[in-house]
Amino acid sequence: MSDIHIRITGRAGRITLTRPRALNALTWDMCLEMDAALKVWAGDDAVALVVIDAEGDKAFCAGGDIAQLHAHGIQGDYDYARRFWRDEYLMNARLADFPKPVVSFMQGFTMGGGVGIGCHGSHRIVGDSSRMAMPECGIGLIPDVGGTYLLAKAPGRLGAYQGLTGARMGPGDAIHVGFADAYVPEDDWPAVIAALEESGTPDVIPQAAAPAAPLKSMQAEVVTLFSGTDLSEILERCSASGSELATGAAKALRRGSPLAMAATLEMLERLGGGPDLTIQQALALEYRFTWRAMEHGDFLEGIRAQIIDKDRSPSWRDGLATLDQARIDAMLAPLGEDELTFEGE
């Protein structure tokens, strides 16, 4: 059975992830199949909108199939991951700029690569089970798949907080931070999808009141704790605060890759989050880091510690006290002929 079901139903182009036992983890083939369908549907008058959902109740998509990337990387094959990320990022950009409505229904875990599929469309639906996060710093990567684009546009310093800690957001927080647009009770999703297929318009999506967003009341504290771009100072403030949010954040900051976290802060600073920021700018900057992540960063060690050996004791290349700006700049330097571009895509 395929890992993804792509078809046209009524007036809707339909994409359903069908790997529930693997939490619908995204493979390279799934990326390519999605991208190919989007290319065709963009010019197909029979397709009025696109609907993306997933089988199973545990996850919309818990991330990319990183064990596969690790298997190639430990053999010295860094190009496999680079080509995967390139194709994935081009698909992310195509979703974000698609000329027709894209409606995603994101239950359960939506993390990493799942954010890249579900959180760049025009109508992003969450329910009570939705749990969103960008936990990449914990495995030696930066929040990619356009994650830095979303984080840069988040209110206050919530982007820095979410990007560095990988904290999970419920449906209300996901809407508040900018990863989702609307809450619809999950029992209603089948009927809403059927109405979308029949009508071809997102106007049929019901307008339900969003659940509470705890981060709203914590936003001032997040601004205080996560201001600036000095990772050590942020950790010091979190360690000294003693609040529940700060204590959890400090634990995550001590656990994550110093290089990945510092680079994330640098990227959010460079992107700025203003009205002229494009997802292509964010993806191109992300690709500079991910292109180097295996050979010069902590990605392989992070996957080993979290996914392969599961000892949760990564040996990062850099320490918070020893990491310097030159190391960060080197990871984000232009790639020359390998730079990610979007011309002709």
Rg of the chain over Cα atoms, rounded to whole angstroms, equals: 19
Q: Assign 1 a pLDDT band (cuts: 50, 70, 90).
A: low
Tokens of 170: 């419920």
Q: Which domains, ranges and CATH numbers included, belong to the chain?
A: 4-338 (3.90.226.10)
**Cβ atoms of residues 191 and 279 within 8 Å:** no
Is the pTM higher than 0.75? The answer reads: yes
> What amino acid is encoded at 99 in this protein?
P
- Residue 68 has a pLDDT of 86
Which of left, alpha, beta for 104 (phi over 0: left; psi -120 to 50: alpha)?
A: beta
**Overall average pLDDT of the 247-268 stretch:** 97
Element (DSSP H or E) covering residue 9? strand 4-9
Query: Distance between CA 91 and CA 146 in Å, rounded?
Result: 11
- Residue 67 has a pLDDT of 85
**Overall average pLDDT of the 80-101 stretch:** 98
Query: Distance between CA 112 and CA 31 in Å, rounded?
Result: 14
Quick: pLDDT tens for 308-327: 999 999 999 999 889 999 99
Tokens of 288: 């500079």
How many residues are listed for the chain in this entry? 345
- Residue 301 has a pLDDT of 97
Element (DSSP H or E) covering residue 125? strand 123-126
Quick: pLDDT tens for 279-315: 999 999 999 999 999 999 999 999 999 999 999 999 9
